[in-house]
Amino acid sequence: MATTTAPGPVRPTGPPAVPAAAGRRARRRKSRRLLLPYLLLVPALVLELGVHIVPMLVGVWMSLLELTQFHIRDWSTAPFTGLENYRVTLDLDSATGKDLVHSFWVTVVYTVASVGLSWVLGLAAAVFLQRPFRGRALLRTLFLTPYALPVYTAVITWSFLFQRDTGLVNHVLAQLGLVDEPPFWLIGGNSFWSLLVVSVWRSWPFAFLCIMAGLQNVPADLYEAAAMDGAGFWRRLGSVTLPLLRPVNQVLLLVLFLWTFNDFTTPYVLFGGAAPREADLISIHIYESSFVTWNFGLGSAMSVLLLLFLLVVTAVYLLVTNRRRAYA
């Protein structure tokens, strides 16, 4: 950590008989120097507390209350129910518990598929755009467009494309003679795939951007040396590119995982609030459990469980990847 080595690198090295006044000045300067980093951190800490930590703690508190429409105006009147909301959530025989588990697995599959595909697409595009050629800048810009578009507008446009009767997707499929009966994309089983396509479309440019930046740090002579040793494309990718991208990938995959797992806007806009069962992501499920049924305590309990799950996954991930790096 930088902070442990920062203070006091320039110890006064004068003769031992320093006048008392000068010693005090030096001490004061030293204590100020010790204090400064913390002072500089204060604004960030205050904002972090205000934006993240306090709302999170409020959420935990809410999860212990029976916070329904009768009490939302004045929370102090909400009865304290302890872990009752958690009991309801985790009661796997009840409709609520079953639905949550279903939604959890949908989200896991969705996240793994979306992050995997985004990463592969991002890596492929970044590797192919590594060497200069005509039109490279144009392609780079083009690839980043989905990332630059406002989410809401982009997803609304997708929802138009996916309409059964008037959507472009079915129009193209029909023109190509691939389908006889136009399929539904926004309801039923296909809705999962629609959601996945939109999600990958949205997040792969970020993977592309990060990997592209990471590739700038791979020295070109490594590739030259590998090529001289007779390494082909796949060998160079496996033995040079990927190992050197490890730090980038470690952060990238984690961030993509967290974003995708928590993604609310995409399903909410795509399905207009009530997601089909096949695409019932956990974030939207929690939203429905709290806003739709006006049971904010229950929704908070689910959110806290989600937070714990993500914390555990993140911790395990960091532990495993860091250990591997230490061994490497």
Binding residues vs another protein (CB under 8 A): 32, 36, 39-40, 42-43, 46-47, 50, 69-70, 72-74, 88, 94-96, 99, 163-165, 184, 186-189, 272-274, 276-277, 288, 291-295, 298
Q: Where are the alpha helices (DSSP H) in 188-295?
A: 190-215, 220-228, 233-236, 242-262, 265-271, 282-287
Q: Which is nearer to another protein, 144 or 288 (CB)?
A: 288
Cβ-proximal residues to 145 (8 Å cutoff; 6+ apart), any chain: 205
Q: Which is nearer to another protein, 160 or 233 (CB)?
A: 160
Do residues 69 and 84 touch, judged by C-beta distance below 8 A?
no
Q: How far is the CB of 209 from another protein (least distance, A)?
A: 29
- Distance in angstroms between the alpha carbons of the first and the last residue of the chain: 21
Q: Which is nearer to another protein, 127 or 288 (CB)?
A: 288
Q: How far is the CB of 146 from another protein (least distance, A)?
A: 24
Q: How far is the CB of 180 from another protein (least distance, A)?
A: 13
Give the DSSP H/E element, type plus range, for residue 77. Answer: none
Structure tokens at 29: 């300067």
Q: How far is the CB of 61 from another protein (least distance, A)?
A: 14
| Cα-based angle 73, 75, 80 (whole degrees, multiple of 5) | 145
- Picking from 297, 25, 241, the residue whose alpha carbon sits closest to that of residue 123 is 241
Q: How far is the CB of 28 from another protein (least distance, A)?
A: 12
Q: Which is nearer to another protein, 283 or 295 (CB)?
A: 295
Q: Which is nearer to another protein, 165 or 221 (CB)?
A: 165
